[in-house]
Amino acid sequence: MRSKVVPSLLIGCLVLAGCSARTNPIEALQLGSKRAPQQVQTAAAPTPAVAVDEQTGSISSVASTSGSDPQALSWAGDTPNQAHFDTPQMTAGMPVPNQRPMAMLSSPIRAVLAPRDPTERSNGRHRVFNQRFSDAKPINFGKVTPKHHAVHGVDVSRWQGNIDWQTLRSQGANFAYIKATDGGDHLDPMFHTNWKRAKEAGVKRGAYHFFYWCRVASEQADWFIRNVPRDPDALPPVIDVEYNGESSCRFRLSPEKAREKMQVFMDRLERHYGKRPVIYTAPDFYKDNLRGHFLDYPFWLRSVAAHPSKVYPGRKWVFWQYSGSGLSQGVNGKIDLNVFYGSVADWQNWVAGKKSWERVAGLR
């Protein structure tokens, strides 16, 4: 028995010594593989770079291999001064490491941040913000004021300069009509910038054309169509008809001739965009040329000193421009302020194509 015990003890000692030594590379690899889940780190796979603006809450740049749309990573949110994402901040709840395993890069970044496209609707409806505008020259409109209307918006041109659209939307600009063209050869230099950035901020936007009475109507329509994209999500196009030093001829046209030129322009736009144009006008031009006419067209009425019912008796309207001296964060200087006639539900149904403007304005 003694000769069997000694070799056994000797073999046991050699095994124990081998466990603590690194003389055998095969054993070291086998032992290391058992600890890999706790110790291994990735170093060659950089995390997509995401920069979050602290003021607007928007993501300014994303480098991703997922193919997600950068515009879909900026969203204006539900209410002013609220975080602009449905999910908590990226570091809230579960810390996000500076370097992520390769497995995480195989999933789109949308799954990590849960962002929304700026024009995405909640349950098929466009989000509406309460207005926070002020007015440099406030007017007493009587019993029915602009604040009685739930959906507010603005109209802009080059004169508003570089607009912070996300801030403007959070202040109550749920829609915006953007100056596009004049006559037959002038393009507002800020149109394409405003058109793009308004949509990125989730603002419902449309384009308007300032009509020149000495230019051929079909040429003006072609110029507008050449410069304004055909976006099914946009508001109907607008023809701005009024007399001033730039738009009027040496001699004013007869009311019949003015309406004829308007009809040519509007017919051409309706065929191209598939939406009936909105007529914007001011009190004097309306009184001389439009009263009692174009009853089957939506109107946008300028009335900054009294309610439209007093200035345009009997005329149904969809938009009311109630101020040319509005003030808002996101814009330097003054801005035109407007309201939509109907309720929030009317607005949501109208922009979704579920309700006609006639029903919104109370004609049906």
Report how far residue 280's alpha carbon sits from residue 237's, in angstroms, rounded to the nearest whole number: 10
Q: Helix H segments across 99-139?
A: 102-105, 109-113
- Single out the catalytic residue among 155, 240, 336, 346: 155
What one-letter code names the amino acid at 6? V
The residue assigned the tokens 């999500």 is 233
Report how far residue 302's alpha carbon sits from residue 284's, in angstroms, rounded to the nearest whole number: 10
**What would the DSSP string read from start to end of 253-279?**
PPHHHHHHHHHHHHHHHHHHHSSPPEE
What one-letter code names the amino acid at 77? G
Quick check: 338 and 153 in contact, CB under 8 A? yes
Quick check: 85 and 113 in contact, CB under 8 A? yes
Report how far residue 340's alpha carbon sits from residue 201's, in angstroms, rounded to the nearest whole number: 19
Report how far residue 240's alpha carbon sits from residue 133's, in angstroms, rounded to the nearest whole number: 24
242 is known as an active-site residue = yes
- Single out the catalytic residue among 164, 182, 188, 242: 242
Q: Which residues contact 289 (CB under 8 A, 6 or more apart)?
A: 241, 255, 258, 259
296 is known as an active-site residue = no
The set of catalytic residues is: 155, 242
